[in-house]
Amino acid sequence: ARLVSKVYAVDFVGHVSDIATSDGVTIDETPPKPNPSFEDGDNDFVDISNISAANICGYTKPYHWNSSDQDCICVLGSSKSIAMDGYKEGSTEIQRYTSVGLNTFAYNYNIILAHTSTVHITVVSINGAELSAVATSEALYIDLTPPDIEFVYDGIGYDIDSQTTDEIIANWRVEDLESGLSYCEWAIGFSEFGNEVQAFVRISSELSSASKVFDHSLLSSKTVYVTLRCHNKAGLHSKKSSDGVTISDRPPSIQNAQIQILDQPITEYKSKSNFHGNTSTVRLKWMGFEDKSGLDSFLVEFENQEKTVSLSKTVLYDHDGVMYCSLTGFELHDGQYVARVSAINNAFLSSQPASTNISVSTKNPKVSVEN
């Protein structure tokens, strides 16, 4: 309802003036009716069930509330399931009531929020008749920690260090126990956290592996790294890289390989090079095998020309430049023998064998004396 006042004047001789009418005053007995939903700057609904840190108002744009009249007051309250004093909606432990004028948004960077706590935002709208209404948001869960990426492995299972194919495959394990995962991204580069081969591509948070085939000329003889970057629903992210996988279809090189038969003397005298007098044991030494993808093992073979004696043994690479191997249990006879060593790389490609020949002699020399 609207009330107006009318006034006129009468002088001492009875003359009456014109009537003056006031602008009136509106009688308002209805408080404001704020919309408790929260909207962004484009009037689109925003899910704010999770927030990340002290900035209650959000990510790139501040959150807004709908208010019907002239003035608004904002308050932040908190509740914790473990709190002894029982925080609840409408409380002011985090921030007291603060006027924001006619704004439909507010923010506060100078507060400290507890991890895994729950925050409530309360808005009080006041109209020109000093009547007010209160609206409280749904609980906002505070998550201050990024996702936990346990590992990123090259390959489809356990981590591999080399491969012959041009398909890059990675698998991982990641979780976020507080606000949950929103999405992940993966990239490929020539160094940890690099993306020269592939920029970050968004993938579903439900995936635990990804793969892509590239041109052979791009990856050949190079080591590539897969980087995973995951975001949680609170807007925080973490990233982790694999330890790299080398792409190579070439076997190890034997260009600088050397094999030596170590002397196993049966007397106090040493044997000459490539001659052997011990009929039960042969000890080998080798070095110089090279491979960009890394060496995995060696295949050692020992046999005679007739192949009546033949023995092979696999020796794991121990990341030392010089390798040794003892072959025992022989009953060698006089004759020619050959020792071969082949290198096997991490992609399980075998090199050509490097070899050396030895002569086994068991006969004692004879000395004749002439007068």
For each of the chain's 371 residues, which pLDDT tens digit applies?
A: 677 788 888 777 777 888 888 887 777 677 666 544 444 444 544 444 444 433 343 334 344 444 444 444 444 443 332 222 224 566 777 777 788 787 777 878 787 888 888 888 888 888 777 777 888 777 788 889 999 999 999 999 999 998 989 999 999 999 999 999 999 999 999 999 999 999 999 999 999 999 999 999 999 889 999 999 999 999 999 999 999 999 988 899 999 999 999 988 777 778 888 888 888 999 999 999 999 888 999 999 999 988 889 999 999 998 778 999 999 889 899 999 999 999 999 888 999 999 999 999 888 778 877 76
pLDDT at 99: 82
Q: Return the residue matching tokens 């040493």.
A: 270
Which amino acid does the sequence have at 329? G
Contact between 56 and 71 (Cβ < 8 Å): no
Nearest residue to 67 (alpha-carbon basis) of 99, 111, 89: 99
User: Phi-psi bin for 353: left (phi > 0), alpha (psi -120 to 50), beta?
Assistant: beta
Cβ-proximal residues to 265 (8 Å cutoff; 6+ apart), any chain = 271, 277, 278
- Cross-sheet strand order for the sheet of 148-154: 148-154, 167-175, 209-213
At 218, is the secondary structure helix, strand, or coil? helix
Q: Does the pTM exceed 0.75?
A: no
CA 151 – CA 172 distance, rounded (Å): 5
Q: Return the residue matching tokens 């975001």.
A: 231
At 340, is the secondary structure helix, strand, or coil? strand
CA 82 – CA 11 distance, rounded (Å): 78
Q: Return the residue matching tokens 């009531």.
A: 97
pLDDT at 371: 64
**DSSP readout, 233-290?**
TTS-EEEEE---EEE---PPB-TT-EEEEEP--SSSSPPPTTEE--SSEEEEEEE--B
SS in 3 state form for 76-112? EEEECCCCCCCCCCCCCCCEEEEECCCCCECCCCCCC
Structural domains in the chain plus CATH codes: 35-142 (no CATH), 148-247 (2.60.40.10), 258-360 (2.60.40.10)
CA 366 – CA 368 distance, rounded (Å): 7
Alpha-carbon distances of 9 from 23, 29, 317, rounded to whole Å:
19, 34, 117
- Cα torsion 329, 332, 338, 343 to 10°: value is 0
Dihedral pair phi/psi, residue 307, rounded to 5°: 60, 20
CA 202 – CA 222 distance, rounded (Å): 25
Q: How far apart are the first and last CA of the chain?
A: 154
CA 107 – CA 121 distance, rounded (Å): 11
pLDDT at 96: 77
Residue 217 DSSP label: H
The first and second tokens of residue 102, run together, are: 């006619």
Burial of 23 (0-12, 13-18, 19+ CB in 10 A): exposed
pLDDT at 227: 98
pLDDT at 336: 93
The first and second tokens of residue 331, run together, are: 């009953």
CA 234 – CA 243 distance, rounded (Å): 29
